[in-house]
Structure 1
């Protein structure tokens, strides 16, 4: 993965029943992001990151050990809260994982990488 350009597939969303969801995803060479409830998106927008933006994103993803994350992170002691989903594929490497009120140790690094890619603090840490 290191040294490669943008992922072949990428989607991340996070939120809860009270706050709705925020999502970011790759659509061809464009990054689409928005907020919404369920499959309905409010104020969807898109940006086209530069090759350098993608290079920095991929490097940050590699450094956050996303490729080694478990498939699921769940805290069964919390009924309502925050759920998240990640799908990323680059070449032969693919990671699909989710969480409910629990996170891998490097989760904040993923949030930072996404915020860097979209050039704003779209997701809170």
Structure 2
């Protein structure tokens, strides 16, 4: 079993002062996805859905291709005060790995956002 196959859940969020925020939870043990968007003076919207086991497996393969577990713990651009913040929590057997950033991103960030949008069937920007 690879380290990626030990992932039980991914919780991720992205947002900033302008544009509101997005939160997505992917529960691979129970095959559930939750998506929330809020901010911008609008009411918060939340959607829950079930995913197929195969969909969860493909998602884990994408995370491995993106080398998610080996991303740095922190990506911060000190020169920008306002902007976009993001956070990822990876729940595994017995521990949680956290990654976050402020106005700076790992090289694979765009592909990660696409993978999250695809599994949630909703935007994650």
TM-score (norm 1): 0.83
1:61-100 matches, within 5 Å, as 61-91=63-93, 94-100=96-102
1:61-114 deviations in Å (ceiling 9; x for gaps): 011011001111000111111000000123367421100000011111211211
The DSSP-based 3-state class of the residue aligned with 1:85 is strand
Q: Aligned partners of 2:61, 2:26: CA distance in 1, in Å?
A: 17
Q: Aligned partners of 2:12, 2:4: CA distance in 1, in Å?
A: 22
Alpha-carbon RMSD: 2.3
Q: Aligned partners of 1:3, 1:74: CA distance in 2, in Å?
A: 25
CA contact (8 A) 2:12 2:86 kept: yes
1:24-57 deviations in Å (ceiling 9; x for gaps): 01455321111124xxx71101111111110110
The DSSP-based 3-state class of the residue aligned with 2:124 is coil
Q: 1:80 to 1:90 in 2, by over 3 A?
A: same
Q: Aligned partners of 1:3, 1:70: CA distance in 2, in Å?
A: 16
The DSSP-based 3-state class of the residue aligned with 2:5 is coil
Q: Aligned partners of 2:3, 2:59: CA distance in 1, in Å?
A: 10
Match of 1:12 in 2: 12
The DSSP-based 3-state class of the residue aligned with 2:54 is helix
- Equivalent pairs counted in the alignment come to 120
